[in-house]
Structure 1
Amino acid sequence: MHEAFLLHADHAPAAPPAALPRPALRLSCVVPAHNEEANLALFVRALAQVVRALTPDYEIIVVNDGSRDGTHDAALALLPELPVRYLALSRNFGKEAALSAGIDHARGNAVLLIDADFQHPLEMLAQMHELWLAGYDMVYGVIADRTAESGAKRLGTRLFYRLLNSGNRVKVPPHAGDFRWMDRRVAEALKRLPEHHRFMKGLYAWVGFKTAALPFVPQDRAGGESSFNLRRLGSLALLGLTSFTTLPLRVWSVIGSVVALGALAYGGWITVETLLFGNELAGWPTLAAGIMLFSGVQLMSIGVLGEYVGRIYDEVKRRPSYLLARDEDRSPLRDGPAP
């Protein structure tokens, strides 16, 4: 696996860039947790053991995204023994908001985003660190094998990324997730983006910087069940499409143009037929079918337009992406100089 890493070439050359002097590593590990009572304590201890081999200066930021199980108590129990900063959101705001909260409060000169369910392999952290030292500003994991997923999910994933990247100047790498190592400069760039509805995979690509991709195969969850069901995945996909591409609007513009041209041609044919041969039929079936067709097209196009208007409505209210209910700071890191 170490020799099979792939480079995402949008912002990086095929070979690693010339190594830039990096300061001593001060690593902030952001761990979003939603109903992870069964995994959290074991995972954070395992993460700390791996990170200690890279640097003694680290913090683990656990973000409780409105869990309804014992995640809160499990996180508090870690405070006396590990350098943990515990952020409890006031309710479930979603993983994108939890990641944003962790990035906002990170103090290290590098930030690691990793899930608490053991699906992101901890053994890849050393390689991510090496690539960061080599000059890459962001190193992210790419799922190399999706055979364990259902056929419907694989098909939906391919369709989503094809739609998202069609005609879009900023290409979002397919099969890339939130498992990534970021330089402080990337974290600061993400913090400056003002969106309320944050599609993080798109924001990672939008900020740019030198990036590298590492393939990995997700491991089985150590315990519990994933909270990402089809409904949540569909909602996230809709958020990504409306946040980073206007393709749906363009598609319905094309459909409207085609239907209008077809209606114009059909109207011309009816006119010619009536003038030449007369028209003995009342034409109610044709009229009814035409009304139903045009009404359906109009309602669907209004629905697509409404999704974009709804995003605008939410954004102009300028509500924060998340609210903190509790902040327990046992991190040894303190805010350092600007990157």
Structure 2
Amino acid sequence: MSRALHLGPTVPDVSFVIPAFNEAETIVETLNRVSRKARRLVPQSEILVVDDGSADATLELVQSGHWEVPVRLLRLSRNFGKEQAIMAGLRHAAGKAVVILDADLQEPLRYVDTMLEKYREGYEIVYAVRAHRDDESWLKRRATAAFYRFLNIGSEVPMPAGARDFRLMDRKVVDALCALPESNRFMKGLYAWVGFRSLAIPVELQPRGGGSTKFGFRRLLKLGMTGLTAFTDWPLRMWTGIGMMLASLSILYGLFLASRTLFLGHDVPGWSTLAVAIFFFSGIQLMSIGVLGEYLARVFNEVKGRPGYLIADDVTIAAISKC
């Protein structure tokens, strides 16, 4: 099935959404490359840069630049995180198709050609997956594999390991994502949950064009907990199973003690055994309460109804004229 991209002079054929947080070293080169790529691929395009509370010169560099296609700059009032920055870009993107990409130049723009080709063939989501993880440490590769394995246990929809935010989506997919009401968002899970006809393409990532990754261990752990609590309830069910198992063992042990006392007489139990048992079961109870608390915290945040982000400035930078 083929699909025409050109919609007329007032509606962009493709919107490029670029979340940026302290990307002063790469943002100029990124916008230059994206604007050249956009002019070559489609008649009408736009670029949305979402400044996620940058503390460096990212904002000033975007505002003072001269770009070949219109650039819209959304400045969030503070750092709300990449997931919310992506949603801010999606809600303001006007294109028939939307491409999300990072500002660090790791994702080669040549793959956008492939995405557009597959989009014209009828796919509504074309997303990138890492071709390999050779650039990561052994520990991070194992941790990532374990996370997706746990995430997919009991999940409504399978979530591909190695999927990137780098993707092209049809307007109907973007509208579906924007219609979802939750404020705590795990975007990789939401991309899978909305469905639609999807295709993965392997991508060879390049070294960062500058700066360092903004996703340290703490941010990754927080994002992982959001994903686990948003898309699977197996941790709750696991503790139910553990409780049933321990209760059964306690009943069996009680029957053993009662039988021994009836037939062999009563002996004085040791305090060490009692202390170990108390500490063990107390730890089990606290861990189960902690898991329950994680889910309750998600419910509490959703009930408050606060928006996921706030926009401080919305500036459109007109494209330079080409003779």
TM-score band w.r.t. shorter chain: over 0.9
The correspondence of residues 184-333 of structure 1 with structure 2, limited to 5 A, is 184-330=171-317
**TM-score, reference length from structure 2:** 0.94
The CA distance in 2 between the partners of 1:33 and 1:64, in whole Å, is: 5
Q: Does 1:127 align with 2:109?
A: no
Alignment partner, residue 104 of structure 1: 91
The CA distance in 1 between the partners of 2:236 and 2:318, in whole Å, is: 47
Alignment partner, residue 130 of structure 2: 143
Displacement after TM superposition at 1:140 (Å): 0.1
Displacement after TM superposition at 1:150 (Å): 1.1
**TM-score, reference length from structure 1:** 0.90
Displacement after TM superposition at 1:280 (Å): 2.2
Alignment partner, residue 32 of structure 1: 19
Answer whether contact 1:63 1:98 (CA < 8 A) is retained: yes
Q: Quick one: structure 1 residues 79 and 328, their matched pair in 2 at CA, closer, same or farther if it must change by over 3 Å?
A: farther
What SS does the aligned partner of 2:189 have?
A: helix
Give per-residue Cα distances to partners, 1:86-120, cap 9 Å, x unaligned.
00000000000000000000000000000010111
What SS does the aligned partner of 2:212 have?
A: coil
What SS does the aligned partner of 1:208 have?
A: coil
Gaps of 5+ in 1: 1-18, 333-339
**Regions of 4+ moved over 6 Å:** none
Gaps of 5+ in 2: 8-12
> Partner letter of residue 238 of structure 1?
M
Answer whether contact 2:26 2:210 (CA < 8 A) is retained: yes
Counterpart selection for 2:77 from 90, 93, 98:
90
Q: Quick one: structure 1 residues 297 and 331, their matched pair in 2 at CA, closer, same or farther if it must change by over 3 Å?
A: farther
The CA distance in 2 between the partners of 1:79 and 1:209, in whole Å, is: 37
What SS does the aligned partner of 1:53 have?
A: helix
Answer whether contact 1:78 1:84 (CA < 8 A) is retained: no
Q: Quick one: structure 1 residues 114 and 80, their matched pair in 2 at CA, closer, same or farther if it must change by over 3 Å?
A: closer
The CA distance in 2 between the partners of 1:208 and 1:22, in whole Å, is: 22
Displacement after TM superposition at 1:21 (Å): 3.5
Displacement after TM superposition at 1:250 (Å): 1.2
Answer whether contact 1:79 1:85 (CA < 8 A) is retained: no
Counterpart selection for 2:161 from 169, 174, 181:
174
The CA distance in 2 between the partners of 1:331 and 1:186, in whole Å, is: 27
Q: How many residues get paired? A: 314
Displacement after TM superposition at 1:291 (Å): 1.0
What SS does the aligned partner of 2:41 have?
A: coil
